[in-house]
Structures are given as C-alpha cells and as structure tokens.
C-alpha cells in the first residue's frame, strides 16, 4: 500500500497549537494539541487493520508495536512536524501531554465492557495497536505488571460493576496523581534492584465519551510555582512511603522515596497520590499538606474532554492527571465512557526491570 499523503486539496493541514489558555503566563503551555483531518484517521485505521490485524497485543506485543510504528510512519509520510512532535515528546519534555485529535476512526464497536475485562469483539484492537505504535514512536516500550490485571497490556477504563470495589474505583472523581506511584524512576533504579518501575509515559485512546467526562491535567511547573523553596527542598528528601494504586492485586510498598526527583535532563519529576503516598515524619507531612493545597488552584487545571478517535500521551514525570466523576452518568447500557490505557517505559528503564521469563512485556516484582 502506498504511503498516505493527507495534505491534499480536500483535507485541511494539520493544526498545531498550545493547549493552555494561559500562554502569556506559562511559557510553553502544559499541552500540545494536534488536530488531524478526518481522512487521516480513516486511512490510518484501514492501514493498521491491513498490517496488524493478525497480531494480538497480549500474545505478540513486540511484533505488533513494531508493525504499528511502521504503519504510522507510512501514514505520516510528508508530515515531519507531526512525527517530530511524537518522537521528541518525552525527550524534550516541553509539554505535559500530547493530544492527537482524530487520530483514528472508531467504526463499529461492541458494548462498553462493565467488568474490567476486554471484550471478545476485536474492533477495539485497532485503537490499541495505534496506541502501541505511538508509544513505540515516542521511544517507549509497552509494558505491564503481573500484579495488575495479571499482566494485561491494554487496560479498559470505564464504569465497572463486577464488584463493589471496582464500581467505587471506576466511577468516583479521581484526584490528581501519577501512574504507579510506588514505582521507581530510572534515576533511582540503580539503588532499587527488582523494585517496581514507574512508567515515564502512558497513553489513553477514547472509544466512547458521550457524556463528555473530562480528564484533568496539571503541569508540574505550575504546581512548583505555588510552593515555597523550602517546601520543594523537603519534598526532594527520601522521607515518604508509597503503596500500590487500587488497580493492583497486592500492595507493593516503596519506602524512603522523595516526592520530587531530579531527572537526568535536569528537570524535576514528581510521584504523587492523595491516598497512596504518606510522609514518615512531621516535616514531610507539612510539606505534603502544602502540596495538596497547591493542587487545588483552579487557574492551573485543564480539562480535556476526549472524543472518540482521540489519543493522548501523558508525561508521567511532568504532568499530574485526574478525572471528573463518572458515577452520575454511568448507565451500564453499553454506551458508557470507554478509554483504553497503556504504559510506556524508556528502553533504559526497561533494561533494569525484572521481567517474566515467558512474557517479556510483564514486570514481575518479587514478594
């Protein structure tokens, strides 16, 4: 199949703009939004189905991600700015998130699942393959955890009712947090052999969102500007303890870790959870209380209403995220909000984690 040339007379060019409405105050804005022509999403989906349909992301993730990346590069032929935006998203760390509007065509879908499992109907796999390809294009490896959904790569994000705990977790408002708060950063892994690793990025693709439930985002830079210097210094001390997020099957504790860590690029990175991160002394608790207060500043919060066909990447070191409540709109009628989530790990971090011997995409944390 010939590469897709989407900048033709019938399709408007790709539009790039800063997502933050506070451009004059935030130098680069928190997010970069790329709006793609409808024809691009349609043709990319056809190409992905042609190239990747025979693979299953849970059985052949490496092959599927590589095939999806090649398809993406073919589809983006003639769009070097789009390719660079994805390739350099994490490395340059200029934006907390990258939102690709109209990245794929949703097409016919099964009912939204309601029990934390993937539906057998395979049409949703095109979106999952595109997300894997985007993660690969951004220089990240798709990975999962044995202690979260048995190591499944593609996580269904929707209202669930298979248990009281699942219902509460999947429908409540999510306060600002980072993914896998109990995981170690690349900069910490040499001191923490065989610990859980925190993904540098993660991605979401939207299948349904008829009620317009928003994903919230908050830039770390905006947060730091609201904190006194002494508080930042305290948050950089290893005086905190973290626990597994509620989607994990067991509690994996990371002890003596900081909230803020100096990354290899010189920037600060953050790990945070309102309920899964605790200070071990009074000084740490005071700093944590000031951080929690700063998180409530409404001027810095962005609300991203994902639409079917949208894909968003988050920098899990430089951007916190949350979610508006879903409980009021959950109907369990097959039309509820449905996102798919995957984690991405840099190749340097991935080389340091303990992996399953027969499922090389699954991180295993010893008891």
Helix (H/G/I), strand (E/B), else coil: 234? helix
Q: How confident is the model at residue 193 (pLDDT cuts 50, 70, 90)?
A: low
Helix (H/G/I), strand (E/B), else coil: 33? strand
Predicted local distance difference test score (pLDDT) of residue 258: 97
Pairing of strands 319-323, 174-177: antiparallel
Q: How confident is the model at residue 175 (pLDDT cuts 50, 70, 90)?
A: very high
In angstroms, the Cα distances linking 75 to 44, 79, 83, 114 are 6, 9, 10, 33
Least confident of 22-36, 106-120, 185-199, 324-338: 22-36
Q: How confident is the model at residue 25 (pLDDT cuts 50, 70, 90)?
A: very low
pLDDT at position 19 over 80: no
pLDDT at position 27 over 60: no
Helix (H/G/I), strand (E/B), else coil: 345? strand
Angstrom distance (rounded) from CA 200 to CA 269: 10
Angstrom distance (rounded) from CA 128 to CA 45: 11
Chain segment 219-259, per-residue pLDDT in tens: 999 999 999 999 999 999 999 999 999 899 999 999 999 99
Predicted local distance difference test score (pLDDT) of residue 95: 94
**Tokens 């303990």 -> residue:** 354
State the chain's mean pLDDT as an integer.
88
Predicted local distance difference test score (pLDDT) of residue 88: 96
Angstrom distance (rounded) from CA 43 to CA 32: 23
């Amino acid at each position: 199949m010939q590469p897709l040339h989407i900048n033709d007379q019938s399709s408007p060019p790709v539009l790039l703009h800063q997502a933050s409405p506070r451009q004059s105050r935030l130098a680069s804005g928190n997010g970069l939004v790329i709006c793609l022509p409808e024809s691009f999403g349609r043709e990319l989906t056809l190409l992905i189905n042609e190239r990747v349909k025979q693979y299953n992301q849970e059985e052949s993730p490496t092959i599927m991600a590589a095939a999806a990346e090649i398809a993406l590069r073919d589809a983006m032929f003639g769009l070097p700015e789009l390719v660079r935006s994805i390739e350099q998203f994490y490395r340059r760390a200029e934006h907390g998130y990258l939102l690709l509007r109209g990245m794929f065509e949703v097409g016919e879908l099964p009912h939204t699942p309601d029990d934390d499992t993937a539906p057998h109907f395979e049409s949703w796999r095109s979106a999952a393959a595109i997300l894997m390809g985007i993660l690969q294009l951004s220089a990240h490896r798709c990975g999962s955890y044995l202690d979260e959904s048995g190591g499944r790569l593609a996580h269904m994000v929707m209202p669930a009712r298979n248990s009281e705990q699942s219902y509460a977790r999947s429908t409540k408002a999510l306060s600002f947090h980072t993914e896998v708060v109990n995981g170690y950063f690349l900069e910490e892994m040499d001191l923490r052999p065989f610990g859980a690793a925190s993904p540098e990025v993660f991605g979401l693709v939207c299948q349904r969102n008829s009620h317009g439930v928003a994903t919230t985002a908050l830039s770390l830079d905006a947060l730091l500007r609201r904190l006194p210097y002494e508080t930042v210094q305290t948050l950089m001390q290893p005086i905190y303890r973290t626990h597994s997020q509620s989607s994990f099957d067991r509690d994996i504790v990371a002890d003596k870790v900081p909230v803020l860590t100096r990354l290899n690029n010189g920037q600060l990175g953050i790990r945070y959870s309102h309920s899964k991160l605790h200070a071990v002394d009074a000084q740490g608790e005071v700093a944590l209380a000031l951080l929690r207060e700063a998180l409530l500043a409404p001027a810095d919060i962005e609300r991203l209403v994902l639409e079917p066909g949208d894909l968003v990447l988050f920098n899990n070191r430089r951007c916190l995220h949350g979610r508006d409540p879903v409980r009021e709109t959950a109907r369990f009628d097959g039309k509820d909000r449905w996102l798919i989530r995957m984690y991405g790990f840099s190749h340097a971090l991935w080389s340091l984690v303990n992996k399953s011997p027969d499922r090389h995409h699954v991180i295993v944390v010893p008891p």
